[in-house]
Amino acid sequence: MNVIYPLAVPKGRRLCCEVCEAPAKRVCTACTVTYYCGVVHQRADWGSIHEKICQLLIPLRTSMPFYNSEEERQHGLQQLQQRQKHLIEFCYTVAQKYLFEGKHEEAVPAALHSLRFRMNVYGLSSVELVPAYLLLSEASLGLGRIVQAEEYLSQAQWTVLKSTECCYATHSLLHRNLGLLYMAKENYEEARYHLANDIYFASSAFGTEDIRTSGGYFHLANVFHNLNKVDLADTLYTKVTEIWYKYLNNHYQVLSHSRLQQIDLLGKKFENNTGLDEAHEAEAIRILTSTLSIRESTSDRDPEKTVFVLKTLVLLYYLMMNYSKAQEYAMEAFILAKEKLSVHEQSTIQELLNLISAEESHPE
């Protein structure tokens, strides 16, 4: 990082910190188009997102070249907008992943980048800004900054109210974040209201059994768990697990079929994957491991439910090609099944263990 010399800045131009928008005193030497108020915010931005997008910012933040024709100029503008749209999604996914991993501080710079690119592309009052406001709200909640979270949520709500084109998916995200806010305030009645609305809008957008709807069920289950309404929480945790198991199992079956075809046609191995981006993989891990913790506290009464979550985690990590983690959960499920469940259930888990062993034996 280099210090900015005031005399080198063109008259009338104000350089702002990328993180807090305070007057900038330092510039990134790698891209020379990103500024910071000091070392602390530069390091925060670098660790969160800047390292990943540093060079991509150069064409976006330097003057457009001179074009010989209007057609060339329009083509240049289109390319610029496409780059910005790519960065909107990339920064959003990175911030989402941090949130699902509980890394709230790291999520903030990435979410701010997504918000600023959205403002550049869509304008200051577009509903496209809402997902970024919601990321910033959730990060603020995770950091215990409830007032700041409320400010971001107010901006999101106001933008949605003014818009005539807000889709069900955005309404779902807004209500989910309002639900999380009221959970943080321990106002469980308001939290229930908003999470019920989240499930309604997500179901309208994606269907009641979609993994994108599962987050609403999961948070509502947490509300009932906090209220000690055990039966209601239990039903919802089961539904969440069923949704993820069905998705992962279906994806595994499709991959298995494709793998057989690939071996027949090309004579080479077909790699596993989850069909999810990194953020949704992190969400699956968070939801399923949290559900497992709750199930393990009652596994003496309901070993089947604990084993079911473990089997879902086995499938998830197997498809993520994290075979050591998959084996860890499979062994845990097998030991519990051997103690408490039928021989048929034990043999099902043994098949999963054999599948993992086969992958570990033939990595290539």
Q: Which two tokens stand for residue 223?
A: 């509300």
- CB of 263 closer than 8 Å to CB of 219: no
- CB of 205 closer than 8 Å to CB of 172: yes
Query: Cα–Cα distance between 140 and 142 in angstroms, integer?
Result: 5
Residues 6+ apart with CB under 8 A from 212: 169, 202, 205, 206
Question: Would you state the pLDDT for residue 345?
Answer: 87
**pLDDT score of 246 more than 80:** yes
Percent of the chain clearing pLDDT 70 (strictly above): 91
Digit-coded pLDDT (tens) for 6-43: 545 555 567 889 999 899 889 999 998 999 999 999 99
Residues 6+ apart with CB under 8 A from 63: none
Q: Which two tokens stand for residue 52?
A: 């990943």
Q: Which two tokens stand for residue 329?
A: 């959960």
Digit-coded pLDDT (tens) for 37-86: 999 999 999 999 999 999 999 888 887 667 678 787 787 788 888 899 99
Residues 6+ apart with CB under 8 A from 233: 221, 222, 224, 225, 294
Q: Is the pTM of this model over 0.75?
A: yes
211 confidence band (pLDDT: 50, 70, 90)? very high
What's the average model confidence in pLDDT over 111-116? Answer: 95
Question: Would you state the pLDDT for residue 89?
Answer: 95
**pLDDT score of 221 more than 50:** yes
Question: Would you state the pLDDT for residue 43?
Answer: 94
Please spell the DSSP secondary structure of 195-256, one letter per residue. Answer: HHHHHHHHHHHH-TTSHHHHHHHHHHHHHHHHTT-HHHHHHHHHHHHHHHHHHHHHHHHHHH
Q: What does DSSP assign to residue 36?
A: E
At position 260, the amino acid (one-letter code) is: L
**pLDDT score of 146 more than 70:** yes
Parallel, antiparallel or unpaired: strands 35-36 and 2-3:
unpaired
What's the average model confidence in pLDDT over 210-235? Answer: 96
Q: Distances from the Cα of 92 to the Cαs of 25, 48, 49, 123, in angstroms? A: 27, 12, 10, 17
